[in-house]
Chain A
Amino acid sequence: MAKPKMTPSIDPAACQVLEFAAAVGIATAFSRASDIKPCPIGSGQSGICCKNCYMGPCRLTKDGQVGICGATVDTIAARNFARAVAAGAAAHSDHGRDLAFTLQAAALGEASGYTIRDEAKLLAVAAKHNIPTKGRAIKEIALDVANKAISEFGQQRGELSYIATAPAKRQAIWREQGIVPRGIDREAVEILHRTHMGDDQDPEHILTAALRTALADGWGGSMWATDISDILFGTPSPRVGAVNLGVLRADEVNIIVHGHEPTLSEMIVMAVQDPELIEFARAKGAKGINLAGICCTSNEIMMRQGIPSAGNFLHQELAILTGAVEAMVVDVQCIMQSLTAVASNFHTEIITTSPKVKLTGATHIEFDEHHAVEIAKDIVRRAIENYPNRRETRIPEISERVVPGFSHEYLNYMLGGYYRASFRPLNEAIAAGRIRGVAADVGCNNPSATQDREHMEIISELLKNDVLVVSTGCGAIAAGKYGFLRGEAGLERVGPGLREICETIGIPPVLHMGSCVDNSRILTVLTQMATEGGLGDDLSDIPAVGLAPEWMSEKALAIASYCVASGAYVIMGIRSPVEFSDQVTEIMSKGWESVYGGKLEFVTDAAEVVRRTLEHIDKKRVALKLPPYNPSRFGQSGDTPLRDYFELPVEEQMAELYG
């Protein structure tokens, strides 16, 4: 096994565990990434590969070369991209569908353990979809909301209901371009059809359809997933959590939930607090039960329940390598098959729970929302029973406290309180130039880049330039590991104007807005900003950029596409899957920008990402006729300028009261 050629991670906890893995010869994604070079043709750099029919696969590596059917480089690039978007959208949306089923079961009283925890959110969501609420029982409304959601997946004609909540100007663009999604499933199915051998072979036409499918995710499946999660489990608001491997406990039963859905993990949160089970753990010699998360399941329960996160995507194997995990319970998405291989070296039991996901070598306990509590307790019991099998542990003593939970509802509240909630202060901060603009740093880890490095280089540079950063998914967990999700970072690591805003509100400079399915929250926030006034009247007017510097999943392409169709400039890292086609690259950049105001570009150099981000933000500021960014005008307020004064003894403070 080759030694990694590059620094695998900037995370000292990860490095510590990787050293051990290397020493004992256990392979991880990090080590395999240095063994496997991505196929330059499959990845779209030095060629393009079409395997949609069995006349091929056709590998095209020269200009003007066509496939056996005559498909051009551009058509193949567009088709491959569209299929990825469809797969990503399907994943998000299917997640949303399952939540809708859970809500339906809860409304019918058929799902033990599930209740409507956030009635206010239920009413708000019902109102969005014109579901009557006045004088009706909560469960009745919930059932209507669930049925409405379920119907949208199979809807064949018309428009998805959330489309009407976008700014009017944006809706008009979508209708004009014919990309308003008709039904969530239909759009994904249609992409599969269109990209089947011998169908749609006009790159621009294919890409337009890809955008419609992406919108069915962002303004459909994902948005339903977010809203229903909030209804069932509560709308997130800031709470203190912790991230990184150091959250594992040497003397407690450690259970890790990994994947994307909150449905089962919320039940496990309840189960680990069960006094009987805690007693059982004690009986097995543990001091208690410690639950932690990985990936987006972790985000879901951290922002709602404050359950700590053991790390982001690339930490899934590392957590097992600590030797301290009794059970890793996984649901859907981003679950590496290597988990069972790594776990075979330890006592850790990998438990798959989704009817859609099985891993060879893992224990399968199929989750069913109708019996969720019992299943969750069973799982916890298994983990406890496994505790005595634990051998030596190597938990890095590295973790960082974080404050996640910035739902758009809370953002609204935090800017004005119960009585004055609004986005006005945020819009004014941008208009005045205290906040230069907003960047969403989202997306995965990818072992072909040093873990977290791109995220951190970009985030720290943007913050110094007074760009407020919002984050979701594995990018958000990364930000947390390096202290960016603490209020303290808003005092020390940001430009003067942003510092004033962070100090005024008490926020960290990077706002953790949830899991990757919660990028829909960002759409809602941008919509509210556009509606509040002062920053134009469409999403594309706002000085904002979307970034996914370490992306790896197809979901990331779906997110990027719905953000672009919604008017955002999106910069992704790693490498461009359509690089070999100049035409497709051009359509995604200049072409889309001229129609949608948003564009998709792939940039690997962090400094260049920052440069383009700031350039775009400044361009939007000029278009809005806002004053040019000038940090020297700001920084006089907050506690920071008085830090020395507050350290004086009270008598001296009083003596200097008047200056």
Chain B
Amino acid sequence: MSRYIATRAIRGANLITREAEALLNKALQEKGPDTPVAFPNTAYYLPTILGMTGREVSKLGELVPVLEHAKELLHPIPSPQCWTPYLGETLDSGMATLLAAEIIEAVRFIYGEEPGVLPGFHATGGSFTSPEFAAEGGNGTGRLNGPIDDIQLRSWGIQLVDGRMPGFAAIVGCAKSNEVAVKIVRELQKRNILIFLSGNVNGRSVIHQLMEEGVEMGYDTYIVPFGLDTLSAIYAIGFATRSALTFGGLKGGQAKDILLYNRQRVFAFVLALGEVDDLKYAAAAGAINYGFPVIADTRIPQILPTGVTTYEHVISMPFNEIEGKDDLERAEKLVQKCIETRGVKIKLAEVPIPVPYGSAFEGEVVRKKDMRVEFGGKYSRAFEYLRMVDMDQVEDGRIEVFGPDFSQVPVGGAMDLGILVEVAGRKMQRDFEPVLERQIHYFINGASGVQHIGQRDIAWIRISQAAADKGFNLRHFGDILHARFMSDFGAIVDKVQVKIITNPALHAEWLQKARAAYDFRNRRLADMTDESVEEFYTCTLCQSFAPTHLCLVSPQRLGLCGAYNYLDCAASYQINPTGPNQPVRKGMVIDREKGIYTGLNEIAQQKSQGTVQEVAMYSIMTSPMTACGCFECIVMLIPEANGVMVVSREDPSMTPAGMTFSTLAGMAGGGLQTPGVMGVGKYYLTSPKFISADGGFKRVVWMSSILKQTMAAELQAVCEREGDPDLLTKIADETICTDVDGLLAHLEAVGHPALTMDPMF
């Protein structure tokens, strides 16, 4: 801190803490100390308060000691002469600011004032966890996002840990112009950096600026508008705190560890746009506690020494002094500086297309009314097929379009499309074809204004009018795929060529060939069993976030995040032989039924730093595999029902265990081995090895309805395999019951097999 910053931050902290006190006292009087307080859809109470103080605040009255602690952290402002040191004091005042801000937001929730309202605001995609707010958004009196829910945090988890999403930018204030605001956001999106928006300068917020420019905001576009005031930036801190709790295996109250976790592992920074007032300085001082540096586009004192943060603490880049031919170039340089300051590692493939490109655009939705053309879906058929061919049959970078372009198709119309990618490489294997082919979805989705859903012959692609206006055409699919395959899979792919097929005869011919290949692969994968291989793969991708968790991936048990199956790991190992996926020999069998092997135990002991001694591949009761925090589902024992329930990450409802997914996740994650609780990938449910030592799929007595619906066909096949074709209908879900009594009644009524199976323990 410089003395100037210290003075302003400490002043801001004192002010906001007093405000929190006044507001809290008012609420205590009006609402009473037993009034519940909570942020929506989180198991982490008020997360910053939980993380820093260990207090599980659920009632208004419980905020009083938190406020007292905040007040203890306050200090007087440094005197103008013969001052005493102020760095530690400013950081403490910053922490007081964060605690006070969370208190204020919690109280505002009680009064229904949070999330803030911005007339006309509409979040993209909405939030499946806060449908009530999304609904309001539809009629033009939209609520801003408010705090991010646990489910969204977890679904971003894998991207945060595998580096696809390098970190987050907390933008506070208002950019010099709308144009600059959009440019900054686009530059961040291009690098897949999550963008959190809050604050204003003289009433105008960057959120207003983006809304005026028609920039889509919401979880899907990685742009999350928290609120129009500085206080709402606390949600970014809450997100950071929960990252440490969710993925780092840390507990509330382990304040220093949580802060250091963020400093070391969460690549985040604060970008202060426009004039920095006392409260912003105070909040920034709080963020610095987390190791997050602050970059301002205005003239403020810089703090360049390092230590509390990894690199510089505070950087000032007065916007007009940034070298650049215009404001857009200056905005670009500003973003570059932010990334440099935080030391964010960014793998950026240059993709030569006329629209912005980056995985931040992956979730972008192209609505029917904004659409130029679509391929697949209801009115046409699209497929994509990647195959390995001999070296001499590929001319690297060759992109050919067979058939007409979409210029003849009326606006909003549809046409057939085939995308054939041919790759060659010395290390390429036939088994990698599906691994690479699944990447097409992510690669194509990265283009702004292009939407990709599905895979294989159920692919469905839309191109927006805006993208088409910028010159996006079919050939650009080839450009994207060539660039990305070469940059991301250069270790196994030496040459790539792409054929885009719209010619009907060719389309039919290649669709036929593609289907034959899909069929072959299905059988090939089905033939692979855990017994047919000697080696499994480790996955330590998440260790950057969950340092003691290790996934063991076998042909019949995919990674709990759902993103890495056995072949993915094999390919990943080829690409990076020293990377997170390493082959591991199973070794001597200790218990075949439970899937306990000496080799697997050894690697688990080693990679978990000794916290896990034994791993059973196929049991939830004996030494279950641990989880980081990115799991798609949680499987949990329901002792009364002699079975297990499966809760989807996307299911916010109550479960018969008396806990929601978010609360359960705290028990399943963080690399902890808890018999009876396990985080898994949802396709593990379909494996014959799904808790086979404990009785297999027949043990499932309750399952989130979203799983039943979205995996209906696959699960039906499992039921038939298990010899009980009606089993799926016997399994309860949240529409049937959310408590044990209701569950037991249902199971009795339908005659669920679990009731008559051997006891689970």
Contact = CB atoms under 8 A, between A and B. Distances in A.
A658 B297 contact: yes
Nearest to B7: A639
Contacts, number: 156
B88 A413 contact: yes
Contacts of B94: 417
Nearest to A511: B85
Interface in B208-261: 255-256, 259-260
Contact of A646 (B4, B6, B86, B89): B4
A507 interface: yes
Given A240-B84, A415-B87, A501-B305, A639 B2 contact: yes
B467 interface: no
Interface in A280-302: none
B298 A414 contact: no
Contacts of B492: none
Contacts of A20: none
B78 interface: yes
Interface in B89-144: 89-92, 94-95
A441 to B, nearest CB: 20
B298 A504 contact: no
A653 B275 CA distance: 11
A178 interface: no
Give the interface size bracket for A toward B: 35 or more
Interface in B1-21: 1-4, 6
Given A418-B73, A637-B302, A654-B275, A506 B307 contact: no
B266 to A, nearest CB: 15
B319 to A, nearest CB: 4
Nearest to B81: A488
Contacts of A658: 176, 297-299, 318-321
Contact of B259 (A239, A420, A429): A420
Contacts of B88: 413-418, 421, 505
Contacts of B320: 658-659
A656 B320 CA distance: 9
Interface residues of B, number: 49
B2 A503 contact: yes
B82 interface: yes
Contact of A637 (B289, B298, B305): B305
A505 B306 contact: no
A428 B311 CA distance: 10
A659 B301 CA distance: 13
A506 B9 CA distance: 14
Contacts of B84: 238-240, 403, 487, 506
A506 B289 contact: no
B305 A500 contact: yes
A659 B314 CA distance: 17
Contacts of B305: 425, 428-429, 432, 434, 500-501, 504, 637
B78 A506 contact: yes
Contacts of A414: 85, 87-88
Nearest to B310: A428
A419 B95 contact: yes
B3 A506 contact: yes
Interface in A626-659: 634, 636-639, 641-642, 645-646, 653-654, 656-659
B313 interface: yes
A59 interface: no
Contact of B6 (A415, A506, A636): A506
B81 A417 contact: no
Contacts of A501: 305
A425 B86 contact: no
A240 B87 contact: no
A599 interface: no
B303 A504 contact: yes
A657 B320 CA distance: 9
Contacts of B89: 417
B3 A416 contact: no
A486 B82 contact: yes
A492 to B, nearest CB: 13
Contacts of B86: 505-506
B304 A636 contact: yes
A426 interface: yes
A403 B85 CA distance: 9
A448 B707 CA distance: 89
A657 B318 contact: yes
Given A417-B87, A504-B313, A642-B301, 9 more contacts: A415-B307, A417-B92, A417-B94, A417-B289, A418-B92, A419-B289, A506-B85, A636-B304, A659-B319
26 contacts: A238-B85, A403-B82, A403-B83, A414-B85, A414-B88, A416-B88, A417-B92, A417-B289, A418-B95, A419-B92, A419-B289, A420-B91, A420-B256, A422-B307, A429-B307, A434-B305, A487-B85, A500-B305, A504-B1, A506-B83, A634-B304, A638-B2, A645-B299, A656-B318, A659-B299, A659-B318
